[in-house]
A and B are shown apart, each in its own frame.
Chain A
Amino acid sequence: MIVTVTLNPAIDEEYLVPEFRPGGWFRASKVQRTPGGKGINVSLVLKQLGLETAAMGFLAGFSGEYIRDVLRKAQITTNFLHVRGETRTNVYIVDEVGKVETGLAEPGPYISEDEIARFISNYERILKRTSLVVLGGSLPPGIPQDFYCELIRIARQRDIPTFIDAAGAPLLAALDEGPTYAKVDQRFMGSYEGVTLNSLDNLIEAVTRVHALGVEWVIASYRTYGNVFFTPEGIFLAEFDRKGIVSMFGSGESLVAGLILSGKEGMDTKERILFGMAAALENALHVEKGVRNRVAVEKLIPRISFEKLS
């Protein structure tokens, strides 16, 4: 089984506003409320692609109950620890005309040491039947910045591969522990070890350094619709054009889910990248987060440009 860890889940509220600008008062033409947090998103997309996962982390209050309820109805296995406080709500405003997204995130509930210890014991229990761990997103208050390190270490002791999709200090700390896969999002991380993540050359330098830490696959976003993949087979660039794109919201997690599913099915590196990118593109073609189904994803593979960089 694949386990996704979301330590700081959220309700994602996405508002579509025809022309949004700060300081004004607007009516949304459409509102979308979904459970969120990177790990949960990956679980939901993998379910849409037909793969079972178990989602774990911390939930709190009414928002936490809502998330659990949606996951339950989607028949996703859950093992969340319910804590005091309230799970956060993240607000995204999509400007339909300017095609600009604005986001606002809350910090999340405080997690005590006792609760961390309880989480670890749940994590160790579930690892007994786990084939891959996906760690995603920010850390709620109370969780130490190097917590992902510990989770990667515990998984590695049991020979279980890990996939981390995070940003900032928690990601930097986790990289030292050598996860199997790491996704570095340029939007949330401007630079890595002094290398600005803007030009292609700089990105290649950064992913090469990350790879040297023992990370087999490094995925770094490049421009708006592309990613650089450092894989055991070489460095590749894959991109898609902006035709028909409505919202990139959740596309990163669809990419992660696509890479996981294709890896599980034994596809080769190129096929995995194409499938993952097609999942990301499919996610971007509608306001709804996630992908419609596998067939819809496969249809988009011809739209992905693929280039070997070295």
Chain B
Amino acid sequence: MQICEVMDRDLTALSPDTTLSEAIEVLTRHRVSGIPVVDPSGRVLGFVSEKDIVKAALPGYFDYLQDPSFIPDYGQFQKRLKKIGQDPISKVMAKDVVSFSEEDSDFYVAITLIRNHLKRAPVVRDGILVGVVNRADLLERIMMEEEPPSFA
């Protein structure tokens, strides 16, 4: 099955100069974990996810902590998040984007998503955004499909 049969043909995207606070608003309103970043013609430049934003707002020493429970509260996180709220998303977005074309097989997409620890990824035609593929939608589709014939 080609991925164009499963993908969400939604073109919701942000421009690189969108602020982080606006990106957070769009993520929550659209109830998604990540959104493609595109240029004025719809060409995919990056992908911003809630994970990227969380990472940007965490204190620098976070990586050195063995356990996040060493952090007493999210005061510092909040302070940093508000501080970077007006920064453009181009600062935190993933620039090396894993994207798919409509003809890619569902199996190839599933494997690539798993390999790259991704939940969502853009689908492009000649570099232009035409949809988004979600891990959960793929799972649902695989679950609903008839089992392939066994050769055992």
Contact = CB atoms under 8 A, between A and B. Distances in A.
Interface of A: 54, 65, 68, 72, 75-80, 82-83, 121-122, 124-126, 128-129
Contact of A77 (B9, B13, B26, B31): B9
Interface residues of B, number: 18
A145 B9 CA distance: 30
B37 to A, nearest CB: 12
A39 B35 CA distance: 25
B46 interface: no
A129 B127 CA distance: 13
For A54, A65, A79, which residue has the most chain B Cβ atoms within 10 angstroms?
Answer: A79
Contacts of B30: 82
Given A121-B15, A129-B42, 11 more contacts: A65-B31, A72-B9, A76-B9, A79-B12, A83-B29, A124-B40, A125-B13, A125-B38, A126-B11, A128-B40, A128-B42
Interface of B: 8-13, 15, 26, 29-31, 38, 40-42, 128, 130-131
Contact of A75 (B9, B12, B40): B9
Given A77-B131, A82-B29, A82-B30, A72 B40 contact: no
B131 to A, nearest CB: 7
B11 A79 contact: yes
A85 to B, nearest CB: 11
19 contacts: A54-B9, A54-B11, A68-B10, A72-B8, A72-B9, A72-B10, A75-B9, A77-B11, A77-B130, A77-B131, A78-B9, A78-B10, A79-B10, A79-B11, A83-B29, A122-B11, A125-B13, A125-B38, A125-B42
A75 B11 CA distance: 13
Contacts of A126: 11, 42
Contacts of B29: 82-83
B11 A78 contact: yes
B8 A128 contact: no
B60 to A, nearest CB: 32
Nearest to B26: A82
B61 to A, nearest CB: 36
Contacts of A75: 9
For A54, A82, A121, A126, which residue has the most chain B Cβ atoms within 10 angstroms?
Answer: A82
Contacts of A125: 13, 38, 40-42
